Chain A
Amino acid sequence: MAANPFPLSKEQLLQAYRTMRTIREFEERLHVDFGRGDIPGFVHLYAGEEAAGTGIMVHLGDGDRIASTHRGHGHCIAKGVDVRSMMKEIYGRKGGACEGKGGSMHIADLDKGMMGANGILGAGAPLACGAALAAKFRGQGEVAISFVGDGASNQGTFLESLNLAAVWNLPAIFVVENNGYAESTSRDYGVAVDSYVDRAAGFGLPGVTVDGTDFFAVHEAAGEIIARARKGAGPALLECKMVRFYGHFEGDAQTYRAPGELEQNRAERDCLKKFAAAVTAAGVITTEELTTVDHEVLSLIENAVVAAKAAPLPTAADLTTDVYVAY
């Protein structure tokens, strides 16, 4: 086995691959099950975008908080939320992360620092500012990260949060997951700036744009930005240019895409393929080792679905539980 030239150990690389593969299989399975009518509500799939969430989250601990988006499954898995409780939640079953009452867009696990997916576009950024302010007061070097899509980056909440984070010098990081479409609107029609680095500069934050389908690019840039925030050097913005393999939501006919666009993305911009090619070419991980992970992940997802389907639905009596919190 060759010497490891990567900035992660072999175990960390395998774990990163396992996380990305888990997100991919989780989403691919939901695509099938939603199409069969097994799942209530809406789901927005993160397939294709795995390298961004994973490359960022490997730098975080449970004390670091994230505020996710409507497309939150990948963030949850990368942040360490239990896949079985997520599956139950999406299936609307008791035992889910929110006892089956929240569904896909409200999965949260505060023990893991996952403050929640969010059905309101751009609403996560002020929450991350609050978490970052708390982290600043605690003084233990924790950070808070807000994820936002290219569409929601136009929301006032997001822009105000950039300013707030800058004036309060918060350990807050704003990740723009730029997959090129705000629902069905190309970002060229809806975002006035070409580069989010420009937008960040307007608020006094440094920013960087990376290839969000390259795990190592995201990992390196996020590592620098997070380390910088932990030291008290303030907020920053990370733009990940990426692709989503499915529509805005399941059922989206995607008529806004160019012919062949999806096929080309799958062939040329699949972050899992790129990761596997890099680590096997370097001789650090074998194809067989990756295949073993693939099988284990498939088994995990299958078991999660079986358990979700077997779990009971919430009852009328559950409606009034977990509604109010006593402080």
Chain B
Amino acid sequence: MDLAPALAVSLPALGVIANPVSARDIRRVVAHAGNLQISERVNIVIRVLQAARAAGVQRVLLMPDRAGIHAMLDRHLKRGDTQLPEIELLDMEPTSTVEDTFAATRLLQRAGVAAIVVLGGDGTHRAVVRELVAGCGTGAPALPIAGLSTGTNNAFPEMREPTIVGLAAGLYAMGRLDAAESLLPNKLIEVSVLNGSGPPRRDIAIVDAVVTQDRTVGARALWKTQSLAAAYFAFAEPEAIGLSAIGGLLQPVGRREPGGLSVQMATDAQHALLHLNAPIAPGLVRPVAVASWQRMVAGEPLAVSAEAGSVALDGEREFTFGPGERVSMTLREDAFHTLDVKRCMAAAARDGLLATRFPTP
């Protein structure tokens, strides 16, 4: 499929990213994280697509995969479902890694879709946002995402019925909802790694950037709280699951309120101000030795004091750093947009967007 710009803008389109590699890490072994089967992910995609079609969307661009999501969807289409939009696969070779999410996001951005529906947990949503932010230069990307919670830790995506997310995303894509009313700004943590005099390496976290003492990324996920050195939260809610629960139970910071939170862990019991029992993974409530915490102010970088270690972004260790490298964390506000499903549907009700009035006799 050729996503030439002329074709890309011809019809309002919705993008869908459902990376099957999400929710595959060791938290299924060390905790009791769920395992959402491919068939269920396909069901979710179908519900989104049927609702989007009902809202008027005729064209959807879908990330290809080798795990069976597209194959099972194709089987469903062959049964003659007429309630779905036209589905086009993005022109990319799947690798069955997070790279697929990166590549699909870039292609969807280039194709000019109106919104991206994302199936995944915090990690998959981070991957999408990372590319959106990287692809728009300065300022927040205009392209919003609508998240569906199907990952391991789901602090970022809200638990919602896919049909309703599909309706909201569809109405937005068709231009039937006002952007100012439909979209919400989100914060993120920007991670910067300086090595010598070269340009810094940058990455992002949409919920938590956590520094550990590990010198390897190992099995990637974090579940040993004794290795934690510091954590930086874009938001931290007390009812969250995952590492952001640490901040949420110390000093909650809402998604929409200004500022973030940084927490320093104690390396030994003597330096601990308190021990916090935090639900850091599904079924896993672990003590965390906390030394101190402070609010983060947007745009003001905080230097990471650890000389060496690894950095986990939204739940998984992504890279290591050593002496000679300087890591800093900066909170960014209004960094990207998500679809406010609740307000979208309220507007749909108020304006009768799903109602068809019969002529009065």
Contact = CB atoms under 8 A, between A and B. Distances in A.
B61 to A, nearest CB: 21
B215 A220 contact: no
B165 to A, nearest CB: 24
B217 A194 contact: no
B11 to A, nearest CB: 31
Contacts of A157: none
Interface string A43-78: 000000000000000000000000000000000000
Contacts of A207: 28-29
B176 interface: no
A198 B35 contact: yes
Interface string B292-321: 000000000000000011000000000010
Contacts of B35: 197-198, 201
A208 B66 contact: no
Contacts of A201: 28, 35, 37
Contacts of B322: 281-282
B179 interface: no
Nearest to A216: B216
A194 B66 contact: yes
A257 to B, nearest CB: 16
A194 B37 contact: no
B308 A5 contact: yes
A188 B64 CA distance: 14
A5 B227 CA distance: 10
A194 B64 CA distance: 13
B219 interface: yes
B200 interface: no
Nearest to A275: B216
Contacts, number: 85
Interface string B262-276: 000000000000000
Given A201-B37, A228-B29, A194 B218 contact: no
A221 B67 contact: no
A281 to B, nearest CB: 6
Interface string B318-339: 0010100000000000000000
Given A201-B35, A208-B29, A228-B29, A195 B24 contact: yes
A196 to B, nearest CB: 9
Given A192-B68, A282-B322, A208 B219 contact: yes
A6 B216 contact: yes
Interface in B120-163: none
Nearest to B34: A201
Contacts of B218: 214, 216-217, 219-221
A69 to B, nearest CB: 23
A194 B68 contact: yes
Contacts of A193: 38, 67-68
A225 interface: yes
Contacts of B37: 198, 201-202
A209 interface: yes
A141 interface: no
Contacts of A198: 35, 37-38, 67
A306 B66 CA distance: 48
B21 interface: yes
A320 B213 CA distance: 59
Nearest to B96: A194
A199 B339 CA distance: 34
A194 B213 CA distance: 32
A152 interface: no
A224 interface: yes
B65 interface: yes
State the 6 A-B residue pairs at the shortest beta-carbon distance, nearest first: A194-B67, A216-B216, A220-B218, A5-B215, A221-B219, A208-B26
Interface of B: 20-21, 24-26, 28-30, 35, 37-38, 65-68, 96, 213-220, 308-309, 320, 322
Given A5-B308, A195-B24, A197-B35, 7 more contacts: A5-B213, A193-B38, A206-B29, A214-B217, A224-B26, A228-B29, A281-B322
30 contacts: A6-B216, A192-B68, A193-B67, A193-B68, A194-B66, A195-B24, A197-B35, A198-B38, A198-B67, A201-B37, A207-B28, A208-B24, A208-B26, A208-B28, A214-B216, A214-B217, A214-B218, A216-B217, A216-B218, A217-B217, A217-B218, A217-B220, A220-B26, A220-B218, A220-B219, A224-B26, A224-B29, A224-B219, A228-B29, A236-B29
Interface of A: 5-6, 188, 192-195, 197-198, 201-202, 206-210, 214, 216-217, 219-221, 224-225, 228, 236, 278, 281-282
